[in-house]
Structure 1
C-alpha cells in the first residue's frame, strides 16, 4: 500500500498504471470503522486498484465545533486499510486541496438539497459536492463508492455527477450495522454508556415503522415514530420523514409506482445520529 500526501505524487503513480486497469475510489474523512472497511472490500472486488482518501473537509461542516471534535485516527486507519488490501491512500492537507481558497462551489442539485438534512445543515451539501468533485478530478476513478447511511448525500453526488458531466460510476453500499442494529458511524465512539444503550432504538423504531407503513397510513407511521422516541430520555428526535427514493420529496400520499424510504435524525446529547430504511 502506498500513501500520498500530494496531488502530484498520487497522479504520477496513477499515470504509471496500465491503461486497462480499473480504479475504484472510496472517499472518507478517516476515523474508519467496519462500515468503511466493508466499502473497501466491495471496491476491491470490483476494481484492479482501490484508492481511499482520508480528508476532513472543512467546507461541509456547518458547525465549527463538529469540525474541531471530528476524530483523527490516521495511524490505525492506515493499518486497517493495509490489512484490507487497499492499494493507494490519499491524505492531503487542507492547503493541498484548496490552495489557499477554502470555499465551497455552488451546485444546482435540482432541489435534492432542500429536504431533510438540507433544512438543518446550511451549505453542507455544497461542501460535500465540492470535495467529491475535486477528488474525482484528481483521481479519475471508474467507480466511486458511498455508503447508504448518508442516502441523501448519495443522491446529491449522483446529481452532481450528472450536472457536471462526469464519467464516474457511483456505487451505493448498504448500511453496515452493529449487532444491535445501530448504523455504524465515527460519531458512535462519542456516545456515553447510557446513550449507546439507547441508540439502537433508532433502528428498531424504523423497523416497526416499516411494518406500519404496509397499512398505507403515513400520518400513523409518523405519529408512532415520534411517540416511540419521546419515551426515551436519552434520544431527541430532530426529524422523521418518509420520502420518494429518487427525488427525496416528502410523501403526502402513497403512489404504488414509487419507492419510498424513511429518514431519521436523532440527537443523543449533542451527538447527532442519522439513519434510513427502504420501505417498499
Structure 2
C-alpha cells in the first residue's frame, strides 16, 4: 500500500493502475475509520480491481460552532486498517493542497435538495461536501465511488452532482453498518458517554417502529412521528428532525403513496453527540 499527499502523486499512482487496465474504486473518508468504513472498503474491493481511500478532515463542511477541532484523528491507526484491508493507495492531503493558500473565487450552491434533513440543520454543510468531493473526483477520476447509506442525503446530492457535472463515475450506496444493538456506526459515536451509548440505539428503534406502522397501512404518519419524537425526548434525546422525505428532492412528505420510495430519517442529540439514521421505504 502506498500513502501519498500531493495531487501530482495521487494522479500518478492512479494513472499507473489504469495503464495496467485496472478499474478504480474510491472511498472518501475523514478518517477515524471504524467497521462501517471498512465495510465500504470491502464493497469497493468487490466492485473494482483496486481501491483508493482518501483521509481528509474537510474544514469547509463544518459550521463555526461544530466539532472540526475536536473531530477524532488517528492517522496511524487508519493507515494500518487500510493496509490490512488491501487498499492500494491512500491519499492524505492537507488544507493547502486541497484548497490552496490564496483567496478562492468560486463556490458551489445547492437548490432545494439541502433545505431539510441535515442540510436544514447545518447551513453550508452540503456545499462543503460537494466542493471537496467534486475536487476529489477531478483529482482521482475513479470508475466507482462508494458511500454509506447512513448519509443518504449526501448520497442523493452527490448523485445529482455527478449527473449535472458530467462525472463519468458510478456511485454506490453501501448498507448501513450497525452495532449489535442496532446503533448506526459513526466516528462521532466516540463522543458518547457509557450511559448515552446505552440509550443511543433508541433512535433506530423509533425509526423501526414507524416503519412497521407504515408497512401495516399508515399513510399519513405525522402524528405517529410526533409521538416517537416525544418518546425520544423522554429518554434523553434532543430531537433535530424525524420525518419521511421524498427520495427525489429530499422534501418532507405528508401522505405516502403506494409504489413510491421514501426516506424515513431522524437526527437527534445525546449530550453533545449528534446521531443520524434512516430507513429506505420502498412501498
Q: TM-score scaled to structure 2, two decimals?
A: 0.94
Question: Could you tell me how far apart the structure 2 residues matched to 1:263 and 1:63 are?
Answer: 25
Does structure 1 conserve the Cα–Cα contact (< 8 Å) formed by 2:181 and 2:201? yes
Q: Within 5 A, what are the aligned runs for 1:4-23?
A: 4-19=4-19, 20-23=21-24
Moved more, 101-110 or 213-222: 101-110
Does structure 2 conserve the Cα–Cα contact (< 8 Å) formed by 1:109 and 1:160? no
Name which of 219, 224, 227 aligns with 1:224: 227
- Give 1:227 shift: 2.2
Q: CA-to-partner distance for each residue in 1:24-73, whole Å, 9 max, x for gaps?
A: 10000000000000000000111111000000000000135410110001
Question: Could you tell me how far apart the structure 1 residues matched to 2:224 and 2:261 are?
Answer: 16
Does structure 2 conserve the Cα–Cα contact (< 8 Å) formed by 1:53 and 1:90? yes
Q: Report how many residues are paired.
A: 279
Q: CA-to-partner distance for each residue in 1:112-136, whole Å, 9 max, x for gaps?
A: 1112111111111110001001110
RMSD: 1.5
Does structure 1 conserve the Cα–Cα contact (< 8 Å) formed by 2:222 and 2:254? no
Structure 2 SS opposite 1:114 = coil
Does structure 2 conserve the Cα–Cα contact (< 8 Å) formed by 1:104 and 1:127? no
Question: Could you tell me how far apart the structure 1 residues matched to 2:269 and 2:156 are?
Answer: 24
Structure 2 SS opposite 1:66 = coil
Counterpart position of 1:161? 162
Q: TM-score scaled to structure 1, two decimals?
A: 0.95
Counterpart position of 2:50? 49
- Give 1:107 shift: 3.3
Counterpart position of 1:244? 246
Q: Does 1:268 align with 2:265?
A: no
Structure 1: 5+ residue stretches without partners: none
Question: Could you tell me how far apart the structure 1 residues matched to 2:14 and 2:241 are?
Answer: 43
Question: Could you tell me how far apart the structure 2 residues matched to 1:181 and 1:266 are?
Answer: 16
